[in-house]
């Protein structure tokens, strides 16, 4: 894949792939967005669970299947969880993809058992809960973005950001 990208772009992309694709760490988008006068605004949900399994689930034919996994939880990428009675906390079982209800009293760092259906077998695996994901993510303009960043934004999208319009 790297050779295809380098052939198509005429640029070396190994360092970029190492950081953005091959690394298990979080990607730092700030420098790239700042180049065009933008930033990421993250906020936690106040009404969400206190802990997370580090994955998003989707429903598929009566099963809850892992749709995406946080970079912190990549070691468990192949997990899939049965829909009914698939995961138990001391007080709750998961119905469908609603893991949040079962995690309502759990804390990050706590270890829970997860019933996993994999390769035709059902297994119980322990998972250490992560802090909750920050579900609200917005790309916002930097109020005091320098003129070169604003010009790069215009070159990219063809117009000024409405927040930078003179009032």
Query: How many Cβ atoms sit within 10 Å of the Cβ of residue 99?
Result: 24
pLDDT in tens, 31-53: 999 999 999 998 766 766 777 77
Whole-number pLDDT of residue 78: 37
- Do the Cβ atoms of 139 and 39 come closer than 8 Å? yes
Which of 55-59, 73-77, 114-118, 153-157 shows the lowest mean pLDDT across its residues?
A: 73-77
More confident residue, 137 or 96: 137
Whole-number pLDDT of residue 71: 59
What are the start-end ranges of the H helices in 26-162?
30-34, 99-102, 147-157
Whole-number pLDDT of residue 154: 95
Q: At 84, is the pLDDT very low, low, confident or very high (cuts 50, 70, 90)?
A: very low
Residue 145 has pLDDT above 90, yes or no: yes
Residue 132 has pLDDT above 60, yes or no: yes
């Amino acid at each position: 894949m790297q050779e295809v990208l380098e052939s198509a772009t005429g640029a070396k992309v190994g360092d970029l792939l190492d950081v953005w694709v091959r690394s298990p760490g979080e990607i730092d988008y700030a420098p790239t967005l700042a180049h065009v006068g933008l930033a990421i605004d993250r906020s936690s949900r106040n009404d969400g669970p206190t802990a997370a399994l580090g994955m998003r689930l989707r429903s598929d034919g009566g099963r809850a299947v892992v749709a995406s996994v946080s970079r912190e939880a990549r070691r468990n990428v192949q997990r899939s969880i049965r829909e009914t009675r698939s995961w138990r906390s001391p007080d709750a079982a998961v119905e469908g993809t609603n893991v949040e209800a079962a995690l309502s009293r759990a804390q990050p760092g706590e270890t829970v058992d997860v019933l996993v259906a994999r390769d035709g077998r059902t297994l119980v695996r322990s998972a250490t809960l992560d802090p909750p994901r920050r579900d609200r993510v917005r790309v916002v303009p930097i109020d005091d973005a320098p003129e070169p960043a604003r010009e790069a934004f215009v070159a990219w999208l063809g117009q000024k950001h409405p927040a930078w319009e003179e009032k």
